[in-house]
Amino acid sequence: MTTTSTMADKRQQYDCFSCGRGFETRAQLRGHVNNGHTECEWVDDDTVDLRDTEYYLSRELSKLEFNGRVLAEATDERNPLFERVKFLSIFTQNMDEFFMKRVGGLEQQRAANITATSPDGRTPDEQWRDVLAKAGPLLNRQAQCYHDQLRPALAEAGIDICEYEELSAKEQEDVNSYFESSVLPTLTPLTIDSAKPFPHISNLSLSLGVLTQQTHESEPTFSRVKIPKNRPRLVQVGETTRYVPLEQVVAANLSFLFPNVDVIEHATFRATRNAEVRRNEEIAEDLVQRAEEVIERRQFATVVRLEITETMSERMLDTLLSHLDVDERAVFRLAPPLDFRDFDQLLNLDRPDLTLDEWTPQPHPRLSHRGHDSGESIFEEIKRDDALVHHPYHSFDGTVQRFLDEAAHDPDVLAIKAAIYRTASDSQIIQRLIDAAKNGKQVAVMVELKARFDEENNLEWAQRLEEEGIHVAYGTIGYKTHTKTTLVVREEDDGVELYSHVSTGNYHSETAKRYEDLGLFTSNRDIGQDLVKLFNYFTGHSLHNEYRDLLIAPGNMRERFVELIQQEAKHAHDGKEARIVAKVNRLEDPGIIRELYRASRAGVNIDLIVRDICRLRPGLAGVSDNITVHSIINRFLEHSRIYYFHDDGADRYFIGSADWMERNLDNRVEAVTPIHDTQIQRRLQHVLDLCLTDNDKSWELHPDGSYSRQTPDDDESIRNAQAIHMREARETHPN
């Protein structure tokens, strides 16, 4: 008896999209790809080692380049003054996070004597040294921006940030009166002596170091005064628009804190602690315990940076160094004031002449509350056609929150499943899920307890959900759940329908006003069934590797992206048009970068829009000639991820939560969805085209890792992608 091979049998062979070579297992194909698939015929020059360190930029230095572009928005005089102040504050926040996360991680590797090199060829110690060498000038540029540009411009606009010494006697009296009544009771001076150990310096807190002396013969004593966070950082002088930094007001009134002694020196300092607190999840009793321990241990982590005012004496600095155990190379002497995070206090002033025109997210042309008010269900609209929402141009309340609100109260809805990575402190999303449970629906929520700096907030929400009887999953051992997805199960006349929302952004109503993100609403059955598998993994911890439509990490995502890139390379080798466009937050995965290099060498035209870190070096002869990299820094944080592959005219589009980073592809749970609707595909192409033609807020990456701002030619008009999106959203307002 003979047998013939069926189509199902043939589908078990795994083919390399570049050379067509078949393999019996995924593991064999993956090994072929990881080894450079040198058998692929379009790789016609094997003399180029694409793993060579010369083809990769430093991740850490690329991050500092990004922070430099953020700071450039503070120095850009084309921006309204308050917008510049906002970016000054954002730069401080970014640098704080960089030291807590990236420098903290390097410190841990140095302490463990790790000498393994990064893709760009640097050891952890070399990276640490290079980072400190570049961070210092950046921090000085920030101080210079404030003193030479922003402070004079604010004064010219009638907002005068003064030194305490610049105040008149009457003004000093007013400020001192405020200090005595509203600040002094909150202060706690802590002095070091034989009975009192060195006080704990909390992360990112602003402090005054004070040296006092009983008599001229006695040794000076060190004390620390913590500047309270619950008092305005900029103290208003009477009813005027003049302000004094709070630390200067405290310094001018130290006699209240240290009576009957001589204050011989005071200086401001600020410590940054490592946020890379790790715990072996396998030995933790549960993920709740782990999250609680991370929150606790982070408060006492090692100091990775010490900022001091430039006048601090060596004697006081030596005291800090010895007790904080910080390397002197991680000390930054800066012109005061330190820490501009709280200077965004000024943005609350009623000065519309100093701000950008306020933006109000517009109703979605199809999913707006107008349809809701007329009695039409949002589910009927989604079932009719897929819908794409683009925040902050489209209202979050009128789309995402409406979706969950209707799901919570619709008697035909059987179940709701949602994955929460970050959400607002007063989240209406969480409240809708609670409402749904109270209305008798099955509700399951995946709450990620490892979302850095949101662990405490997420833990509180998770416990609240459990108290309401909702099934809560706390993440998975070894992976951080980063996907932003919701599934609604609804009983209808023709059977049970699955409604899905797959997004690039968080279920966070506040960041949805400031972050640019995309979300797909669909009743596509394959996508819905893939989400059923994904949510079963969250609650049952049984990982599926086979998905019909979605790209899921861990699972098929890396392999599918590699196949898509290789397919473009094959088209180029065959003389066909080949193009890749990707819009991501970060690009740092060496495997993906190598595939992009190979595709470029095969003739694929590749345009990358990378807001933040980029390890790929564009424009290298014979390697990345066909690759361009752009970065947009604008009023809204570019946060969406879009992937486009021409595929010989098939035009494949994808959106989702994952960047082309190793952590997203291998160490997180991510979801990326294909876009099948041709109208939505055209919309995504429009988004990409606007990014690539922006000549107002766009920067271009050069092979050496530096960036240059794009400006219009003499015969060109200004094209600002975000401004165009806002104008178009107004024009399509359903009213």
Angle at 400 between CA 397 and CA 405, to 5 degrees: 80
* Burial per residue of 599-635, b for 16 or more beta-carbon CB atoms within 10 angstroms, e otherwise: bbbbbbbbbbbbbbbbbbbbbbeebbebbebbbbbbb
Active site residue 482: yes
Q: The tokens of 551 are what?
A: 């790209």
**C-alpha distance from residue 669 to each of 445, 473, 486, 554, 587 (Å):** 15, 13, 14, 6, 18
* Position 657 in a domain: yes
**pTM of the prediction?**
0.90
Handedness of CA 609, 612, 614, 617 (dihedral sign): positive
Weakest-pLDDT range from 26-40, 187-201, 604-618, 679-693:
26-40
* Position 54 in a domain: no
- What are the two backbone dihedrals, phi and then psi, of residue 517, each rounded to the nearest 5 degrees? -145, 165
**Domain end position, chosen among 354, 384, 417:** 354
- What are the two backbone dihedrals, phi and then psi, of residue 380, each rounded to the nearest 5 degrees? -65, -40
Q: Is pLDDT above 50 for 285?
A: no
User: Are residues 434 and 492 both part of a single domain?
Assistant: yes
* Position 177 in a domain: yes
Q: 3-state DSSP call for residue 119? A: coil
Name the DSSP class of 197: P
> Where would I find the beta strands (DSSP E) of 623-719?
627-632, 637-638, 642-645, 652-656, 668-675, 698-701, 707-709
Model pLDDT, residue 200: 86
Looking at per-residue confidence, does 99 or 554 come out higher? 99
* Position 535 in a domain: no
Question: Distance between CA atoms of 167 and 236, rounded to whole angstroms?
Answer: 12
- 183-210 mean pLDDT: 89
> Going by C-beta distance under 8 Å and a sequence separation of 6 or more, which residues neighbour residue 620?
55, 703
Here the CATH number for the domain that contains residue 479 is 3.30.870.10
Our count of domains for the chain comes to 4
**Pairing mode, if any, of strands 160-161 and 242-245?**
parallel
Residue 372: pLDDT band by 50, 70, 90 thresholds?
Answer: very low
Which ranges constitute the DSSP H helices of 303-347?
314-324
User: Are residues 488 and 597 both part of a single domain?
Assistant: no
Q: Is pLDDT above 60 for 14?
A: no
Q: Is pLDDT above 90 for 233?
A: yes
534 and 485 Cβ atoms separated by less than 8 Å: yes
* Burial per residue of 516-548, b for 16 or more beta-carbon CB atoms within 10 angstroms, e otherwise: bbbbbbbbbebbbbbbbbbbebbeeeeeeeebe
Q: Which of 471, 508, 455, 505 is nearest to 485 (CA)?
A: 505
- 511-523 mean pLDDT: 97
Q: Is pLDDT above 80 for 375?
A: no
User: Are residues 685 and 657 both part of a single domain?
Assistant: yes
User: Are residues 491 and 570 both part of a single domain?
Assistant: no
* Position 87 in a domain: no
DSSP H helix total and E strand total for the chain: 23, 29
Is the peptide bond prior to 554 cis by the omega test (within 30 degrees of 0)?
yes
Model pLDDT, residue 277: 58
Q: The tokens of 232 are what?
A: 């305005």
Averaged pLDDT of the chain: 89
Burial label for 352, CB within 10 Å (0-12, 13-18, 19+), is: exposed
Model pLDDT, residue 4: 30
Q: The tokens of 12 are what?
A: 């078990």
Q: The tokens of 696 are what?
A: 């107002």
Question: Distance between CA atoms of 635 and 292, rounded to whole angstroms?
Answer: 35
User: Are residues 337 and 415 both part of a single domain?
Assistant: no
Model pLDDT, residue 169: 95
Model pLDDT, residue 735: 47
Q: Half-sphere exposure (CA, 13 Å, Cβ side) for 90?
A: 23
The amino acid occupying position 294 is V
Look-up: residue for tokens 């595939």? 595
- 58-82 mean pLDDT: 98
Q: Which of 449, 531, 552, 456 is nearest to 487 (CA)?
A: 531
User: Are residues 602 and 726 both part of a single domain?
Assistant: yes
Q: Is pLDDT above 80 for 16?
A: no
User: Are residues 715 and 625 both part of a single domain?
Assistant: yes
Residue 456: pLDDT band by 50, 70, 90 thresholds?
Answer: low
Q: Which helix (H) or strand (E) holds 104?
A: helix 104-111
Alpha-carbon Rg of the chain, whole angstroms? 28
Span 247-262, pLDDT tens digits: 999 999 999 999 989 9
Model pLDDT, residue 289: 52
Model pLDDT, residue 26: 54
Sheet holding 242-245, edge to edge: 160-161, 242-245, 234-236
Question: Distance between CA atoms of 5 and 22, rounded to whole angstroms?
Answer: 15
Which residues face 80 on adjacent strands?
none
Report the chain's terminal Cα–Cα distance, integer Å: 72
Span 69-78, pLDDT tens digits: 999 999 999 9
User: Are residues 416 and 332 both part of a single domain?
Assistant: no
DSSP string, 555-594: TTHHHHHHHHHHHHHHHHHTT---EEEEEES-B--HHHHH
Which residue in 32, 37, 482, 571 is the catalytic one?
482
Q: Which helix (H) or strand (E) holds 255?
A: helix 254-257
Question: Distance between CA atoms of 7 and 155, rounded to whole angstroms?
Answer: 76
> Where would I find the beta strands (DSSP E) of 53-196?
160-161, 190-191
**Domain end position, chosen among 320, 354, 388:** 354
User: Are residues 456 and 600 both part of a single domain?
Assistant: no
Question: Distance between CA atoms of 256 and 543, rounded to whole angstroms?
Answer: 63
Q: Enumerate the known binding-site residues for ATP.
A: 94, 515, 611, 639
Question: Distance between CA atoms of 15 and 647, rounded to whole angstroms?
Answer: 16
User: Are residues 259 and 379 both part of a single domain?
Assistant: no
User: Are residues 593 and 716 both part of a single domain?
Assistant: yes
* Position 260 in a domain: yes
Q: Enumerate the known binding-site residues for Mg(2+).
A: 422, 452
**Domain end position, chosen among 515, 533, 566:** 515
Here the CATH number for the domain that contains residue 323 is 3.30.1840.10
Which residues span the domain enclosing 494? 369-515
User: Are residues 374 and 433 both part of a single domain?
Assistant: yes
Model pLDDT, residue 541: 66
**Pairing mode, if any, of strands 668-675 and 480-481?**
parallel
Q: The tokens of 465 are what?
A: 């959900």
* Position 255 in a domain: yes
* Position 546 in a domain: no
Span 294-339, pLDDT tens digits: 445 545 579 999 999 999 999 999 999 999 999 999 999 999 999 9
- 578-606 mean pLDDT: 98
Question: Distance between CA atoms of 199 and 202, rounded to whole angstroms?
Answer: 9
